[in-house]
């Protein structure tokens, strides 16, 4: 699932008439960068959720092998949005991606797939050491233990892509909620894990990240 419903307010005027996933980086909308990784990893079913300026994304994806989960009348956040999309995604663990990032290196979905161990994990988050991030403000998100378990507070940055067991979503009473709620429950059980991405990750939450990401992409293609 690709999360594309948000308002993108930190992008300022760039999102006044288009949703953030339609902002172009290196001549291609962010949503297409994310879809390219899914296609390269042979993901059989892709769902994109929409809300803010939903029609812009839906028109862009028309005719492609992508299902749309439109959130209305209100936006549902990551947890509520994923739960609404589950009938389209099917049974079993799912991969989720935030499209407002650029990955430079191996396919992030393949990195997750290679490290996934359902016997030990209910979620596997793709993370980065701070020196492998570009354009990010603030500190880290998690501490990563030697056995791969994640706890809150530490230098490791969550990159916005994961594999997640979804059964726990059905026990949450709120309509709109963040996946952080589910992660915290998994963390208490020792089943929230992370794996480090060996390449570079560029944050596109603000306009200043666009030239930085394009510079990194140009270097990677030299």
What CATH number does the domain containing 14 carry?
3.90.550.10
CB 139 within 8 A of CB 149: no
74 or 137, which is more confident? Answer: 74
Residue 85: pLDDT over 80: yes
Looking at residues 135-156, what average pLDDT do you find?
95
Domains identified in the chain, total number: 1
Residue 191 in tokens: 């089943």
Half-sphere CA count of 205, side-chain side, radius 13 A: 12
Rounded distance between C-alpha atoms, residue 112 and residue 126, angstroms: 7
For residue 207, count other CB atoms closer than 10 A to its CB.
14
* pLDDT on residue 221: 72
* H or E element at residue 192: strand 192-196
Percent helix, strand, coil in the chain (nearest 5)?
35, 25, 40
CB 144 within 8 A of CB 124: no
* pLDDT on residue 222: 56
0.85 surpassed by pTM: yes
List the domain range (segments joined by +) for residue 165.
Answer: 2-220
């Amino acid at each position: 699932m690709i999360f594309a419903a948000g308002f993108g307010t930190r992008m300022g005027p760039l999102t006044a008439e288009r949703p953030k996933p339609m902002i172009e980086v290196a001549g291609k909308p962010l949503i297409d960068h994310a879809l390219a990784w899914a296609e390269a990893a042979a993901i059989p079913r892709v769902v994109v959720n929409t809300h803010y300026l939903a029609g812009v994304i839906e028109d862009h994806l028309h005719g492609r092998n992508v299902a749309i989960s439109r959130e209305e009348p209100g936006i549902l956040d990551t947890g509520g949005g994923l739960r609404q999309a589950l009938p389209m995604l099917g049974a079993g663990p799912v991969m989720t991606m935030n499209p407002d990032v650029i990955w430079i290196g191996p396919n992030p979905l393949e990195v997750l797939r290679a490290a996934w161990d359902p016997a030990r994990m209910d979620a596997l988050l793709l993370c980065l050491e701070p020196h492998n991030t570009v354009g990010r403000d603030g500190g880290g998100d998690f501490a990563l233990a030697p056995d791969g378990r994640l706890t809150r507070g530490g230098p490791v940055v969550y990159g916005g892509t994961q594999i997640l067991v979804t059964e726990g979503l059905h026990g949450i009473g709120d309509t709109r909620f963040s996946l952080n709620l589910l992660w915290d429950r998994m963390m208490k059980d020792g089943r929230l894990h992370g794996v480090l991405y060996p390449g570079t990750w560029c944050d596109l939450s603000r306009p200043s990240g666009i030239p930085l990401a394009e510079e990194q992409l140009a270097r990677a293609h030299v």
